[in-house]
Amino acid sequence: SIYEMFGNECCLSTGEVIKIIGFKINKLVASVCENNEVSRFSAKVELPLNFPGLYKVVADKTPYVSIEEITRKVSIGPTRFGHPCFYSPEDIKLANLTIKHGEPITFSSVEEVNGTMAVNCGVVRNNQSHSFTLPLSQEGKFYECEDDQIYTLKEIAEWKIPKCRNRIVKLFNTLHTWDSSNPLPENFDGCLILTPVYEVQAVMKFRKDIVHILSDLDIEVKDITDCYDISSFLQPLSLEDVFERTSKEFPMVAEILEGPSGSQKPYNLLHTGKEIVIYKKYQATRVLASEIRSDSPKRHFLIPMSYKGKFKRRPREFPTAYDLELARSEKEQLHVVATKAFDSPHKELFSVSVGDQFLVQQCQTSEVLYEGRKKVIDVLACEQILSDTYKKVLLAMYMEGGFVEVIHDKKQYQLSEICKEFRLPFNVKVSVRDLSVEEDVLAAVPGLQFEEEITDSYLLISSTSSTVESWEIPVYRLNMSVHLLSRDIQTVVPPATKTTVEEISEEQYYMMRRYENQTLHPPPRPPKNPT
């Protein structure tokens, strides 16, 4: 049988021995969903896994009948995506804990406990986590809990579609402008039923690459696992697999079976067949930054702390007085200009006009008269800057005005100085580009907002043929597979590390931002009817 996959012809001869290493969803067939059923008027459309957009998962109404069925059909793994939640309509009594009916149970991993396969689980009560195990033999009805996270189609395909089941999702954000090439209806914001189309991932005796075989390929196969030495096949590993190895196993030499796409260095050097040294695994800090612009799409970057360029401050914008309180620091007084007028409903608080300038002081409480009753509310104490004097005023914390910062600081800062001395988010522009790299992608950006510091997982690698420099590669954003070589490593100490500014897609940006701590919202305006 000869077939073509991704432009490569592959011949499967009679008697060919193939080692199946995994199953993977190749694409999704989507139908518009109405009342949890396929709409009668809906045509089926194929969606690639990189189809833009963010989606919410609708909880499956069909129960699982045992813990064993859940582990067989649902992805449970080490990342945050692999921790599904279920509940039982009946109480589950354990030796030292009773799980109440309807209580969300988080499944974190599967392992052998005292000779019995079990799932490590947890429940949260009064902000306290309680851990326990459930044997795979545990029977009962288990329903999926509602999931308030958002996902890309790729993440849903990898983690959120149980085997032998479909998945209903609701479109949360399209992330792009609709055009005629979009297979979904214009302005669509409803639910879709996703049906997976699988491919089989395999390795063959005399090929080093991974073979992708669509599940509907018409060939007959026979299981010979019990009578064949499978150790003679390559063992492909993803970067996640490598990262899960113990630190004692590093450094190691590997050959790339499937390299990543992309022209950015070092990704353009990581092609199929290249041999690399993987020195170590670790967590590293990055600053998540976005381009400042009024229109979209914005560009997004992950900036390493080793970035050698310098920055000058740019004015920040604040939509409410509450944001002024969050940005206030002991290091310097915050000076702002009002860009939007606000009429205070209380005579005790100041009404703001466009162009008013303020020095922000502190948060405090104030008594106001509201519908004949006295009420204590949070306010922001400021000094209004007049032509020849200052006037103490109180701003309602809930006021929906608009302010822009006045910058007096002309100093140039390193990235580490900004993170140490100021609160994020923080607006800057590059004043001195990083001369240690050929092209500084940040230098061409007119303005950047540093949004937050994040910690991510990396592997430190270099080429076996050139050990002049080593590179950090992200574990969870790089689609790459390798197999390990049993070869001695000449040098255990890695060469000088080259860290690069990584430009990330809008989907990747949203994936990172959705796990940040929820930003505190301004307190609400006083209710119309005093309580």
Which pLDDT belongs to residue 514? 60
> Rounded distance, CA 192 to CA 29, Å?
10
Q: Residue 382: which pLDDT band, with cuts at 50, 70 and 90?
A: very high
Range with the poorest average pLDDT among 27-36, 113-122, 203-212, 463-472:
203-212
pLDDT score for 399: 76
Dihedral over alpha carbons 134, 138, 141, 144 (to 10 degrees): 30
Give residue 514's Cα distance to chain centre. Answer: 7
Mean pLDDT across the chain: 83
At 343-356, the pLDDT tens digits run: 888 888 888 999 99
Furthest-apart CA atoms within the chain: distance in Å? 94
Report d(CA 324, CA 316) in Å as an integer. 10
Cα distances from 431 to residues 80, 186, 294, 322, 446, in angstroms, run 38, 43, 22, 31, 10
Bond before 345 cis per omega within 30 degrees: no
388 pLDDT exceeds 90? Answer: no
**What's the number of CA atoms in the CB half-sphere (13 Å) around residue 206?**
5
> 495 is written with which tokens?
């060469």
**Chain centre distance of CA 98:** 34
CB within 8 Å of 223: residues ≥ 6 apart: none
User: What structural domains does the chain harbor?
Assistant: 1-59+146-233 (no CATH), 66-145 (2.30.30), 235-313+408-524 (no CATH), 317-405 (2.30.30.40)
CA distance linking residue 109 with residue 119, whole number of Å: 6
CB 194 within 8 A of CB 60: no
Q: CA 387 → CA 335, 359, 403, distances in Å?
A: 15, 14, 19
pTM over 0.95: no
Question: Which amino acid makes up residue 135?
Answer: P
Write down the pLDDT at residue 220: 83
pLDDT of residue 509: 85
